[in-house]
Amino acid sequence: MAGAVVEEGAAVVAGAECMNGSTFADKVGLGWRPDLAAGILSHLERIDLLEIIADDFFSAPQRHVRALQTLSSQVPVALHGVSLGLASSVSVETKRLDKMARLVDQVRPQFWSEHLAFVRGGGAEIGHLAAPPRTADTVEGAVENLSRAAALIGSNPVMENIATLIDPPGSTLYEVVWISRILAGAECDLLLDLHNVYANGINHGYDPVAFLRHLPAARIKAIHIAGGKFISAPDGRPRLLDDHLHDVPDPVFVLLEEAAALTPNPLTVILERDGAYPSMDCLLAQIEQARQALTRGRARLVAQEVPA
């Protein structure tokens, strides 16, 4: 068994000093992308954590894994999987879990994460994260897959909500209920992707803030922020595409403040950018905006807890 997730505490803490003097051990980091390497490594003092795409290293030569180990000795890292397809009524293959287990053992990340998505079915690889029907069957399947993953890898994954253009057919549960049941059943924490909540809110007509308030706040451990773009549609109703190719829009920072005001947990916030890279200064400015949103939210949380 590979139980190798490092306890938090050794990391640089992005302290949000609050009115009562307490400090939330929040961190703000960035998704590691090879194209950003130079900028990241020369600004590590402003980046608390790096999120690595685990799948990029599953079949990589050992020297690349050693390079990743060297990186993780300099800065805390989290491993992020994209292809296990754990939210499915179909059992995840052991060989896929083994790859994650090996990498977790080698890199010893702060935590590892995956998506509440299915990525294949009936022998067909979708090639990306797709929303399964939100039913009791997929809740049960996901809980079983997550339990197997935790047993084999040695720690529970932190599970991310996904963006979807399609309201999955055959669903009998609201998204927030479906997510909450899986997290409770598998005793997993949530990687709350705020741009996904924002995009789904627009595309499926719900209030993102109300969505956040219905989530189990005590399970929110990490947060993704990103940007996307509106795309036109033949029916005349534009959709928001979560493409990670644009700057984080203001409403996502508003949601970040809300999330920070909801949960007392230390939060790890990760800025995701997958291409059309802006300058490093622009990315660092978004990291700073995230810290400010966290500080505002934490101040609200403390004000709620300590009435004047």
Partner 1 sequence: MSAREFEAFLARIYLDASARAAFKANPQGEALRAGLSKEECAALREMDWVSLEMAARSFANKRRSKPLRSRPRTFISRARQVATVLWHRIRSGG
Establish if 241 lies at the interface with partner 1 (CB under 8 A). Answer: yes
Contacts with 12 (C-beta within 8 Å, 6 or more apart), sequence order: 27, 48, 76
Pairwise CA distance, residues 262 & 232, whole Å: 34
Site size for partner 1, by CB under 8 A?
52
Contact status, residue 280 vs residue 45, Cβ threshold 8 Å: no
Look at the block and give the residue holding tokens 């991310």. 160
Establish if 145 lies at the interface with partner 1 (CB under 8 A). Answer: no
Establish if 200 lies at the interface with partner 1 (CB under 8 A). Answer: no
Establish if 264 lies at the interface with partner 1 (CB under 8 A). Answer: no
Establish if 138 lies at the interface with partner 1 (CB under 8 A). Answer: yes
Phi, psi of 75 (to 5 degrees): -150, 140
β-bridge mates for residue 52, sequence order? 79
Establish if 239 lies at the interface with partner 1 (CB under 8 A). Answer: yes
Spatial CA neighbour of 298 closest among 15, 48, 8, 12: 15
Taking the complex as a whole, the smallest distance from the CB of residue 13 to partner 1 amounts, in Å, to 25
Contacting range for partner 1; rule: CB under 8 A; set: 23-31, 114-122, 209-217, 294-302? 114-122
Establish if 137 lies at the interface with partner 1 (CB under 8 A). Answer: yes
Cβ neighbours of 139 (radius 10 Å): 23
Contacts with 73 (C-beta within 8 Å, 6 or more apart), sequence order: none
Using only the alpha carbons of the chain, give its radius of gyration.
19
Q: What is the contact mask toward partner 1 in residues 276 to 305, using x (rule: CB under 8 A)?
A: ------------------------------
Establish if 128 lies at the interface with partner 1 (CB under 8 A). Answer: yes
| Binding test (CB under 8 A) with partner 1, winner from 88, 113, 263, 265 | 88
Contacting range for partner 1; rule: CB under 8 A; set: 7-15, 23-31, 61-69, 190-198? 61-69
Establish if 306 lies at the interface with partner 1 (CB under 8 A). Answer: no
Pairwise CA distance, residues 304 & 20, whole Å: 12
Establish if 68 lies at the interface with partner 1 (CB under 8 A). Answer: yes
Establish if 231 lies at the interface with partner 1 (CB under 8 A). Answer: yes
Contact status, residue 95 vs residue 151, Cβ threshold 8 Å: no
Distance of CA 4 to the CA centre of its chain: 20
Instruction: Please report, as ranges, the residues that interact with partner 1 according to CB under 8 A.
Output: 34-35, 37-38, 41-42, 53, 55-57, 60-61, 63-64, 67-68, 88-90, 118, 120-128, 130, 132-133, 135, 137-138, 141, 164-170, 203, 231, 233-235, 239, 241, 274-275
